[in-house]
Every structure is written in structure tokens, then in C-alpha cells.
Chains A and B, each alone.
Chain A
């Protein structure tokens, strides 16, 4: 039984750490209806500030904590002031995308300064253990519990007894009304971001000491866990966030006890999806209510798309075809082939995110499904590559649609969270379903691209194949957009309530959009698999999902030509100019931030 006691303690400690993250997310959502995807980045900054204090400055623990709180609080204020305040009054998806951009920038800066290698964060707490019954509690466990309780108490007192705390609660209830009554809502935003970030940074410090290990990669997982905890308790609900965190910590801990470590995150995301579908307002939330009538054009930035004349499209396609004849550098040709593959991904995402209005943050999962499907069809069933690739596209369309189907009832930010969770679930299932996917080893020896007996080894051959597939898919998508079906999809995006009132069944059309989108991404993933000859569960990371979204926004949401142009700009150009990969993510993050701020409709306009 002693181990159960230990698992419970471990679950509660981890839950406490999640709570520090989730409470901040809840506060921010309450005040500005924003899911802050940069929370995990602040958390990792907190851990690294702690590292600097402990290993270089040799500060005592209380001072370390104070420095982490202060610097992360300041970072939070800066994030709000520079990154988010200029976006007030914009489309509701804008600040969410901005926090993704901020998170990319922060993570990359941390990585550039401290390298991607994990570092040890020595605990400053004595290594005492207190034996209770059959189990034991460490001093650090007690410290984390004490900090969790103390933070909750201080937060409660702040919200309950201080004037600024009242202002925060008033703003959360009704922003406009609070403003009219003289509440300085900008100051409230600042305060909330400062508190949320200070707590988030503290959480990073504690988790670093608890596991004695920190790395820049911890940021993304932390954001996800904070969001899951928050969704369980009801988005924007502070006590709910604490409950959700402890619940999540315990579930994970018992899950590891029963099934092993590699299942740990699977539990978190399965719970996330279940809660989102069954109790979209959280376990403590209220019942269904009719969504308020929106102002017009709240989802995407209204604009007129740039129309390309027919001759220009022909000229561009001809240039693309002739390029390998003129350019002899195989490196450039390979890079452009890669850009065409990303172009397919961008086409796929711009259809669901732009045309149908379902922001997907898990799009890399479609690549993975396509890649694995095609590789396994070719290896295990012995199908020819030429058959396996389109078949993999169809399978991806089908599986992708079925996976997202339960989330079709969700709207706005919740779609982004659900697709993020589904994407993580896909990669965890790939990791754990060893009998089918070969688990962590990955798939080796995937046959190369070939037509009949002719293998496609030469760079120009691969180039022409990928280019032809891309142009073919782009033409299909354009034809779709110009059909009555394209009109229906855009209507659902603009106002799904009005669309339903006029006889449109949104699920039918979202299903079609995800199916076609899945097909396109699946084909891209399949070609990639045959090109690489080796894939594993980490080949298609969640960073690719964010990159795809950046492309879709850069090109103009829903814009077919824009998606391809953005793929060249974001994948082709940095490669050709040999920008180091560390700086590349930084560039993506900055590009996303600048776009949202100064050209939300993208380069070629939303369609």
C-alpha cells in the first residue's frame, strides 16, 4: 500500500504545480477571454531564472523565489503591454494567435541563451524525508504544498479584499460595465498578467527543483497541462482550475502506476477531450446557453482577396515546372520540393481554419497519419507506392474526420484546444501502439517514391512529382471554393447560428472540409515518409502545426495561392539562405506576431 501513498503524494504535488499554472490561465481568461498559450513559456523562463540564481548567483531559496516572481511578473506585464494590448477590439482569434507567437519567441530565446540541452536545477531544499505510515513525504513536497496553499490564500485575499482585486472581478464579469464605472481595465489586464506570470514562473522553478531537470521543451507541455486543468475545472474559473489541476495530477500519477510512464500524457488529453465534449463549461460550469449574437466579422479580418490574373497563374506554374532545368543546384531543388510538401499542409489547414473557420492546432497529426498509413501500406501490405500514397490520403481524410467529429459542436477557442489535444493523442497512440506502428523505434526502410520500376531518387524528379501533386490539389481546392459548397463553408465560418437557421447542417460541411483537408495533408505526409525512408512519432511535431497556421495566416486565411506563397516564404527562403534552425522558429514567431498586428488579413487577403 505504501506505493499508493507515494503515488497520491506525487499526484498532489504535481497537481499543485499545475495549479500555479492553471490559476493564471483562469485569471487571464476571466478578464480578457483569452487562452494564453504563452503561459508555458513564462513557466520555462521562471525555471531558467531560477537556474541562473541558484547556480551562478548562489542566492538563498527565499531570494530565488522572490527574483523568479518579480522577473516573471515583469515579463507578464511586458507580454500584455507589447503583445496583446494593441490587439484590443480585433477579431477574437487574434490575441490567441499572438500568444502562440509570443510563446515561440520566448521559447526560442531561452533555447538560444541556454541551449536545447536539459540542465540540472539543484534543489535548495534539504533532502529530508518524513516517514508517515507506510510512505514518506519529502521536504520539497511540503514546500510545494505550502506554496500552493499560500498562493491560493494570497490570491483569494487579493481578489476579495483589495480594490484592485475588486476591479479584476468586476472586469471579469462585465468588461464594458467596469470600464464605464471608472475601472482602469488596462491596469487590470496588467495586474492579471503580472500575477499569472509570476505564479507560472514559480511553478517552473518548483517543477525544475522537483524533477531536478529543466529544458526549453518543457514549455509546450506545461501550456497544455495548464489548459487541460483549466478546462476540467471550467475555463476562467479560479477555484475550478485548482480542482482541475489536483484532479489531473492525481489521474496522471495513478495512470502511471497502472499503465506506465508513456501513457501519462495520453490520460491528460483523453480527459481534456471528454470534458470538452461532455461538459464544455467544465465540471463546475453552468448548463447550455444560446451563444450571444455576434457583431459581424468577428472571426477573421475582413478584406478583399488579391485576384491573380489567369496569365500570371499560368506563368507561375510554367516557371515552377521549368525551374529544375534552369537551376542546377540540387540543394535548392530539394528545398523547394520540401516547400511544396509544406504547401500542401498549408492548403489543408487554410481550408479548415480559413474557409471553414475551425482553427486547428493539431494539423501535424494528419501528416503523421498519412505518413504512417502509406509506409505501413507499402511495407506490411506490399502495395506499390503509387497506390499507397493516395490511399493514405483517403485514410487520413477518414480518420482525421472521425477524430475531430466529436468536437464539431465546439466553437472558437475550444476548437483550437480540442484539435491540439487530438493531435497530441494521435502522436501518443502512435508511440504506444507498438504492434502496428513499431512504437518508439519508428518505421525504417520505407520504400522510395517510385512509378512502376522507376525510383525517384534524383532531386528534379522528386521536385516535379511534389510540384505536380501540389498544383493538382490547389486547383481542386480552388474549384471547391468557387462552388456552392465553398460558399456554404464560408457561411458557417462567418456565423454558424445564422447558417443553421438557413438550413445548413454545420456537421455535414465541417466533415467534408476536414475530410478533404485530411486527404491533402495525408498525401503530403505520405510523400514525406517515402522521401525520408524513416519516420517515427516525433517526425511531425506540434511545432509543424504552429508553422502551418503561420503559413495559413501569412498567405491570407482561406487563400489557396497565399498558402503556397507562404510555404515558399517560410520554408523555402530560410532554407535557401541557410538560416540556422534555432533562428528559424524565432522568425516564425516574430512573423506571426507582426502579421497579426499589422496585416491580419495576410499577404493576399482572406477569401
Chain B
């Protein structure tokens, strides 16, 4: 098994707060790893550091055998990393189809031409001329978009030409995942894919993520709904106050005293914490 993602001693401080404090994390190809922890534990900050949206104060991130620490997000995406966002960031005025096609941006031939003025100028000329290979490529991608949307049953396919701003919240989250899949990612980062979803939608999302896992997709997941985490994860990482407080198979982590204390010890008890508490008792 090859290590796909290797995060070591990653630190990010905001003012006086250390949001991510010396986190080590490794994900091997084909693995399903979940990160759990109370709100404000630093999970999303960790995602931002891995995906290049934020730069660590110290520590390194290795992805697919390369050091990518501090690289711009577009460069990291081009190496095969896709992520979704906690609150959803779809392109509101683009249709569902176009949103997913943006996911395939890095796989387009013209977009990969080096970012020198020459490469960009050639991309511009190609867009105006639209040579045969480009049309073929777009047709192929279009078919791929339909295949990806097919995974979501009839949630998105009938709305393929609707602008994303007209979709329901749950559908926007689905579009985000579809867009991420279109990148054909080596590693998929999912930031709370079921946030704000009702029980039916959550169950559907769980089935979908399970299906992705079955297909061999390597996934790093942030999630508060613990039954989903416990059922799907190969390994669970628990964060609190920027520190990794536990790591291991779901069954072990669930009974780890440090984890229980972290959840129960917090003054704000959220839904997820209550679940842990209930399961622990």
C-alpha cells in the first residue's frame, strides 16, 4: 500500500490561537479515513492547509509522493486532490452540467498548457477556433458528467441545465460532490457532506459515500454524524483544540476515554457529542 497523503507536524496559528497544532496524518491509497471532533477543533483548517487554500506556519504536506506544502490550490488540484466545502460553494450562475464540468477543468488539454503567456494565449486561440480534438474532448466530458450525475439517481439529471442557484440546499451539496468526482481525484476530501440535511437525505448521502468507497475511492471525511463515520471508516482521527487526541479503528476510538472526555468535557454540547455520550454509556 502506498501512502497517498502524508501530513507531518502541521501547525497553523491565528493570532493567539493554534487552530492546528502539530498534526500528523497519513492516508494510504484506497483507505477511508474520518476526522471527527467538536466544532472549532481545527478540522476545516486542516482541510484548508491540505488543499492549499491556507498556508501552514510549519510542518509539511506530502501528496502522491510530492511535497505540496504551501503550493497554490490550483496546483494541488492538478495533482489529483478534490475537496468539497462545509457550507457548499457551487458556482451559482452556472448550470449543474457546467458546475460538474469545472470539476474536470484540470483534465482538459488546453487548460494544462503551461501557465506562461504563450500557453494561455494558445488556450484562448483554441477556444475561438474550437478544433476537432477539443470538441471531441468536450463531448467525452459531457458524457462523463451524465455518468457522474447518474450516481445521484434522479436528483440531478433532470436538472442538468438548471442554474445552481435554483437548486435546493441538499442538491447543491450533491453538485459539489459530483464536481469533485469529475476531477477523478486520487484523494477526495469531504467536509461535512451531510451538514444541514434531514434524515432521508443523510441516509442517501451515506449510501452514496459507501458506494464511492466500494469503488475504491480514497476518502478523507470530516463528519459530525457518528453512525455514518463508524460504519464507513477504516480509521478515525479525533481532533480537539487543534490537537490529535486519538486515532484508530472506529470501535477502538469510540471507547477511548480521552475522546469521551473531550466531547463531554466541552461546555457546549452539540448533537454529535450527545451521540458519543449516549453510545459511551
Residues on A with C-beta less than 8 A from B138 are 484
In-complex Cβ contact of B165 among A302, A501, A512 (8 A): A302
Nearest B residue to A557 by beta-carbon distance? B93
Interface stretch of the complex, out of B29-37, B96-104, B235-243, B256-264: B96-104
Complex: A358 Cα to B273 Cα, angstroms: 44
Q: How far is the CB of B189 from chain A (nearest CB, A)?
A: 10
Interface residues on A, range: 35 or more
Contact flag A503-B111 (CB < 8 Å), given A290-B48, A487-B102: yes
Find out whether the CB atom of B120 lies under 8 angstroms from the CB atom of A290: no
Find out whether the CB atom of B94 lies under 8 angstroms from the CB atom of A488: no
User: Which among A289, A476, A479, A504 has the greatest number of chain B C-beta atoms within 10 A?
Assistant: A504
User: Which among B73, B164, B179 has the greatest number of chain A C-beta atoms within 10 A?
Assistant: B73
Q: How far is the CB of B14 from chain A (nearest CB, A)?
A: 8
For residue B106, CB closer than 8 A to chain A, the reply is: yes
Q: How far is the CB of B115 from chain A (nearest CB, A)?
A: 5
Residues on A with C-beta less than 8 A from B105 are 488, 491, 502-504
Q: How far is the CB of B71 from chain A (nearest CB, A)?
A: 11
Majority SS at the chain B contact face: helix
Contact flag A499-B128 (CB < 8 Å), given A296-B92, A296-B172: no
For residue A350, CB closer than 8 A to chain B, the reply is: no
For residue B145, CB closer than 8 A to chain A, the reply is: no
Nearest B residue to A294 by beta-carbon distance? B89
Find out whether the CB atom of B115 lies under 8 angstroms from the CB atom of A293: no
Residues A511-532 near B (CB distance < 8 A): 511-512, 515-516
In-complex Cβ contact of B110 among A290, A476, A484, A487 (8 A): A484
For residue B51, CB closer than 8 A to chain A, the reply is: yes
For residue A363, CB closer than 8 A to chain B, the reply is: no
Complex: A494 Cα to B53 Cα, angstroms: 17
Find out whether the CB atom of B94 lies under 8 angstroms from the CB atom of A487: yes
Residues on B with C-beta less than 8 A from A501 are 51-53, 73-74, 77, 82-83, 85, 89
For residue A329, CB closer than 8 A to chain B, the reply is: no
Nearest A residue to B124 by beta-carbon distance? A512
Find out whether the CB atom of B74 lies under 8 angstroms from the CB atom of A500: yes
Residues on B with C-beta less than 8 A from A302 are 92-93, 163, 165-166
Residues on A with C-beta less than 8 A from B88 are 296
Q: How far is the CB of A470 from chain B (nearest CB, A)?
A: 17
Q: Mark B6-41, 1 if CB is under 8 A from A, else 0.
A: 000000001000000000000000000000000000
For residue A138, CB closer than 8 A to chain B, the reply is: no
For residue A454, CB closer than 8 A to chain B, the reply is: no
For residue B177, CB closer than 8 A to chain A, the reply is: no
Residues A273-308 near B (CB distance < 8 A): 289-290, 293-294, 296-298, 300, 302, 304
For residue A578, CB closer than 8 A to chain B, the reply is: no
Residues on A with C-beta less than 8 A from B86 are 293
For residue A469, CB closer than 8 A to chain B, the reply is: no
Find out whether the CB atom of B120 lies under 8 angstroms from the CB atom of A512: yes
Q: How far is the CB of B225 from chain A (nearest CB, A)?
A: 21
Residues A541-595 near B (CB distance < 8 A): none
For residue A262, CB closer than 8 A to chain B, the reply is: no
In-complex Cβ contact of A505 among B72, B91, B102, B166 (8 A): B72
What is the size, in residues, of chain B's interface with A at 8 Å between Cβ atoms? 50
Contact flag A495-B120 (CB < 8 Å), given A296-B172, A504-B105: no
Complex: A454 Cα to B154 Cα, angstroms: 64
Residues B48-93 near A (CB distance < 8 A): 48, 51-54, 72-74, 77-78, 82-83, 85-93
Find out whether the CB atom of B93 lies under 8 angstroms from the CB atom of A490: yes
Find out whether the CB atom of B103 lies under 8 angstroms from the CB atom of A502: yes
Residues on A with C-beta less than 8 A from B93 are 297, 300, 302, 490, 493-494, 606
Find out whether the CB atom of B165 lies under 8 angstroms from the CB atom of A297: yes
Residues on B with C-beta less than 8 A from A504 are 74, 102, 105, 111
In-complex Cβ contact of A479 among B90, B117, B120, B128 (8 A): B128
Find out whether the CB atom of A508 lies under 8 angstroms from the CB atom of B127: no
For residue B192, CB closer than 8 A to chain A, the reply is: no
Find out whether the CB atom of A494 lies under 8 angstroms from the CB atom of B124: no
For residue A480, CB closer than 8 A to chain B, the reply is: yes
User: Which among A498, A501, A504, A505 has the greatest number of chain B C-beta atoms within 10 A?
Assistant: A501
Q: How far is the CB of A532 from chain B (nearest CB, A)?
A: 31
In-complex Cβ contact of A502 among B54, B82, B165 (8 A): B82
Contact flag A500-B108 (CB < 8 Å), given A296-B92, A484-B127: no
Nearest A residue to B116 by beta-carbon distance? A508
Nearest A residue to B73 by beta-carbon distance? A500
For residue B130, CB closer than 8 A to chain A, the reply is: yes
Complex: A435 Cα to B110 Cα, angstroms: 42
Q: How far is the CB of A30 from chain B (nearest CB, A)?
A: 21
Contact flag A304-B163 (CB < 8 Å), given A484-B101, A488-B111: yes
Complex: A27 Cα to B138 Cα, angstroms: 50
Complex: A484 Cα to B128 Cα, angstroms: 10
User: Which among B103, B123, B166 has the greatest number of chain A C-beta atoms within 10 A?
Assistant: B123
For residue A70, CB closer than 8 A to chain B, the reply is: no
Residues on A with C-beta less than 8 A from B90 are 296, 495, 498
In-complex Cβ contact of B124 among A289, A485, A493, A503 (8 A): A485
For residue B183, CB closer than 8 A to chain A, the reply is: yes
In-complex Cβ contact of B120 among A300, A498, A511 (8 A): A511
Q: Mark B114-147, 1 if CB is under 8 A from A, else 0.
A: 0101001101100110100010001000000000
Chain A residues packing against B (C-beta within 8 Å): 289-290, 293-294, 296-298, 300, 302, 304, 476, 479-480, 483-488, 490-491, 493-495, 497-505, 508-509, 511-512, 515-516, 606
Other A-B pairs beyond A480-B127, A491-B94, 5, CB < 8 Å: A487-B98, A488-B105, A500-B72, A502-B183, A505-B115
In order of increasing CB-CB distance, the 5 nearest A-B pairs are A297-B92, A503-B106, A503-B77, A483-B127, A485-B127
